[in-house]
A and B are shown apart, each in its own frame.
Chain A
Amino acid sequence: MIGRPVDRVDGRIKVTGAAPYAADTKIPGVTCGYLVTSTIGRGRLTGMDTAAALASPGVLAVYTPFNPLKLFAYVQEQNDERFPPLQDTEIRFFGQAIGFVVAETWEQARDAAGLVTATYDQQPPVTEFPGRTLQAFEEVEEVVGTQTVGDITFTASYTTPFQHHCAMEPHATVATWNGDHLTVYTVSQGALLVQRRLSETLGVDAAKIHVLSPHVGGGFGGKWGNWAQVPLACAASRALGRPVKAVLTREQVFAMAGHRPRTKQTLAMTCTEDGKLTSIVNDGVTSRGLGGNWSESVANWTLTTYASPNLRVTKTVVPLNLGAATVMRAPGEANGSFALESAMDELAAQLGVDPVELRLRNYATLVPNTGKPWSGKHLDECYRLGAEEFGWSKRPKQVRATADGDWLVGTGMATATYGASRGQASIKVRLHPDGTASVSGTAADLGTGQYTVFAILAADELGIPVTRVRPDLGDSTSPAAANAGGSNSTCTNGPAVQVAAKAVQTELITLATTNPRSPFYGKEVSYRDGSVSSGGLTMSFGTLLTTCDVGGVEAVGTSPRLVDPEHGFRSFGAHFCEVRVHRLTGEPRVTRWLSVCDAGTIVNAKAARSQIQGAVVMGIGQALLEATEVDVSARFTNANLASYLVPVHADIPRIDVRFLDHSDPVISGLGAKGIGELGIVGVAGAIANAVHHATGVRVRDLPITLDKLL
Chain B
Amino acid sequence: MHAFDYAAASTVRGALDLAGPGSAFLAGGTTLVDLMKLDVLTPDRVIDVNALPLKGIRLHDGALRIGALERMSDVAAHPVVRSVHPVISKALLLSASGQVRNMASIGGNLMQRTRCDYFRDVTSACNKRRPGSGCPALTGVNRNHAVLGTSDSCVATHASDVAVAFVALDAQVVLRSKDGDRVAPLEEFYRLPGSTPDRENVLGPGELIAEVVVPVLPWARHSTYLKIRDRQSYEFALTSVAAAVDVKRGVVQDVRLAAGGVAAKPWRLRAVEEALKGGVAIERTFAEAAESAVDGARPLAHNAFKTALLKRTIVRALLDAAGAR
Contacts and interface: CB of A to CB of B under 8 A. Distances in A.
- The reply, when asked whether chain A contacts chain B directly with Cβ atoms under 8 A, is yes
B136 A114 contact: no
A649 B117 contact: no
A589 B232 contact: yes
Contacts of A710: 305, 308-309, 312
A168 B110 CA distance: 30
B230 A624 contact: yes
A107 B234 contact: no
A116 B218 CA distance: 59
A638 B238 contact: no
B141 A631 contact: yes
Interface string A571-597: 000000000001011110100000000
B233 interface: yes
Contact of A584 (B139, B143, B232, B315): B315
Given A111-B1, A587-B230, A625-B231, A406 B316 contact: yes
A629 interface: yes
Contacts of B308: 710
A705 interface: yes
B316 A405 contact: no
Nearest to B42: A114
A86 to B, nearest CB: 19
Contact of B117 (A637, A645, A703): A637
Q: Is the interface of B mostly helix, strand, loop or mixed?
A: loop
B233 A645 contact: no
Given A584-B312, A585-B313, A585-B316, A632 B233 contact: no
A547 to B, nearest CB: 56
A585 B309 contact: yes
Interface string B116-146: 0110110110000000000010011101100
Given A585-B228, A648-B232, A707-B305, A638 B117 contact: yes
Nearest to A632: B140
B4 to A, nearest CB: 11
Contacts of A107: 1
Given A632-B140, A633-B124, A635-B123, A706 B228 contact: yes
Interface residues of A, number: 37
B39 interface: yes
A631 B305 contact: no
Contacts of A585: 228, 239, 309, 312-313, 316
Contacts, number: 90
Interface in B92-121: 115, 117-118, 120-121
Given A110-B1, A635-B124, A651-B233, A584 B316 contact: yes
B2 interface: yes
B309 A645 contact: no
Nearest to A642: B115
A706 B325 contact: no
B230 A625 contact: yes
A18 interface: no
Contacts of A25: none
Interface in A696-710: 703, 705-707, 710
Contacts of B234: 648, 650
Interface in B199-225: none
Contact of B140 (A582, A625, A637, A706): A637
Nearest to A111: B1
B274 interface: no
A39 interface: yes
Nearest to A94: B123
B235 interface: yes
A631 B140 contact: yes
A706 B231 contact: no
A283 B228 CA distance: 37
Contacts of B233: 648-651
A640 B228 CA distance: 21
Nearest to A649: B233
A706 B39 contact: no
A643 B309 contact: no
A647 interface: yes
**Residue among A114, A642, A645 with most chain B CB within 10 A:** A642
Contacts of A707: 143, 305, 309
Given A625-B230, A650-B233, A706 B136 contact: no
Contacts of B136: 631-633
Nearest to A95: B123
Interface in A638-695: 638, 640, 642-643, 645, 647-651
Contacts of A624: 230
A635 B121 contact: yes
Contacts of B313: 584-585
A638 B141 contact: yes
A321 to B, nearest CB: 15
Interface in A605-646: 624-625, 629-633, 635, 637-638, 640, 642-643, 645
B22 to A, nearest CB: 18
Contacts of B39: 114
Contacts of B2: 111, 114
Contacts of B117: 637-638, 640, 643
B247 to A, nearest CB: 19
Nearest to B306: A707
B201 to A, nearest CB: 23
Nearest to A709: B305
Interface in B292-325: 305, 308-309, 312-313, 315-316, 325
Of A110, A406, A631, most buried by chain B (CB within 10 Å of CB) is A631
A110 B1 CA distance: 7
A114 B38 CA distance: 10
B305 A645 contact: no
A640 B325 CA distance: 39
Nearest to A57: B3
B89 to A, nearest CB: 18
Interface string A364-407: 00000000000000000000000000000000000000000110
B141 A629 contact: yes
Contacts of B316: 406, 582, 584-585
B230 A643 contact: no
Which of B143, B232, B238, B308 has the largest count of A CB atoms less than 10 A from its CB?
B232
Nearest to B312: A584
Interface in A110-150: 110-111, 114
B228 A587 contact: yes
Residue among B118, B141, B229 facing the most chain A CB atoms (10 A cut-off): B141
Contacts of B312: 584-586, 710
B304 to A, nearest CB: 8
B232 A637 contact: no
A198 to B, nearest CB: 31
Contacts of B309: 585-586, 706-707, 710
Interface in B224-260: 228-236, 238-239
Given A584-B312, A648-B234, A710-B308, A637 B115 contact: no
A39 B123 CA distance: 6
Contact of B231 (A633, A638, A640, A648): A648
A227 B120 CA distance: 25
A589 B140 CA distance: 28
B121 to A, nearest CB: 7
Given A111-B3, A710-B308, 7 more contacts: A630-B141, A633-B124, A637-B117, A637-B121, A640-B117, A648-B233, A710-B312
A-B residue pairs, 4 tightest by C-beta: A707-B305, A650-B233, A650-B232, A631-B140
Interface of A: 39, 107, 110-111, 114, 405-406, 582, 584-587, 589, 624-625, 629-633, 635, 637-638, 640, 642-643, 645, 647-651, 703, 705-707, 710
Interface of B: 1-3, 39, 115, 117-118, 120-121, 123-124, 136, 139-141, 143-144, 228-236, 238-239, 305, 308-309, 312-313, 315-316, 325
18 contacts: A114-B2, A406-B325, A585-B312, A585-B313, A587-B228, A589-B232, A625-B231, A635-B124, A642-B236, A643-B144, A645-B231, A648-B232, A650-B231, A651-B232, A651-B233, A705-B230, A706-B238, A706-B305
